[in-house]
Amino acid sequence: MDGALVPREQAVVSVFDHGVLYGDGCFEGIRAYNRRIFKVGSHIKRLFASAAAIRLESPYAHRQWIDSIRQTLDANGLTNAYIRVVMTRGVGTLGLNPFRCPAPTCFIITDSIELYPPSLYESGMKVITARRPRNLPAALDPSIKSLNYLNNILAKIEAIDAGVLEAIMLNHEGYVAECTGDNIFFVKGGRVTTPPVSAGLLEGVTRRFVMELCGELAIPCGERIFRMEELKAADEVFLTGTAAEIIAVSQVDDELIGNGAIGPVTRRLTEEFRARVAQGAPED
């Protein structure tokens, strides 16, 4: 926290911090595999882009963030971990004015995470279509990975109420955007398709890596807008994310995807992803 290693019980944030009061700040979720920090350069670059978008200046340079992540991993004795990097506006007044916060609050958590049960990676997961739309980009740009995740949380509550763990969110025009915490892909006739960033989604680091994998494996892959009807008619659907990695979708609402089992393209990408990170996760 703010340049010093502290035990978990001492890692506290002021009640006057604008991150607590208003969700004013940004963050990144990152993975470490065998002491290699997966795509850490891309994650920290996105952290700085989010901060710039909300006019929040980091007190630490790009390299300092990466060095501090390694230091925190070492302090916890972790070789495989989930990493949360957070930068809030900092302590300020009870008013909205962000420029009355003299210095950001910065902290790094390294721990473990299990977003979905291991069994779902073998069977595929059921998801629903959320009634709540994704934020309108002109109002709150989803490309900013901010601390205000209430839009996602409310859609996540819909999923939990329906007895599933994820929900697909549509944009204000009714096109598929992303899920509450994951990006989404579908496969039809061997071709992989995912919504473009312009559909109103956060461009995931794992999403981009999977698209690059498709290119290396000669799997046709592209971006375009589409509606739920096309998604439900797909041969395969899968989600990607830092915590989720790659996970197949077996059912959307009341409709099976394909034959309800993990499809060959999803399986191939999953196996290749796991092999790449096991052999030496790329850090750039």
Residues acting as catalytic residues: 145
Q: Please say whether the beta carbons of 230 and 194 come within 8 A.
A: no
Q: Structure tokens of 173? A: 């025009």
How many Cα neighbours within 13 Å face the side chain of 30?
Answer: 33
Supply φ then ψ for residue 106, to 5 degrees. -125, 135
Number of H helices, E strands in the chain: 8, 13
CA distance 26 to 50: 6
* H or E element at residue 44: helix 40-53
Question: 273 exposed, middle or buried (CB, 10 Å; 0-12, 13-18, 19+)?
Answer: middle
Q: Please say whether the beta carbons of 33 and 73 come within 8 A.
A: no
Name beta bridge partners: 187.
Answer: 192, 236
Tell me the torsion sign for CA atoms 141, 246, 232, 196: positive
Phi-psi region of 41 (alpha: psi -120 to 50; beta: other; left: phi over 0): alpha
Q: Structure tokens of 49? A: 């882009």
Q: Please say whether the beta carbons of 23 and 148 come within 8 A.
A: yes
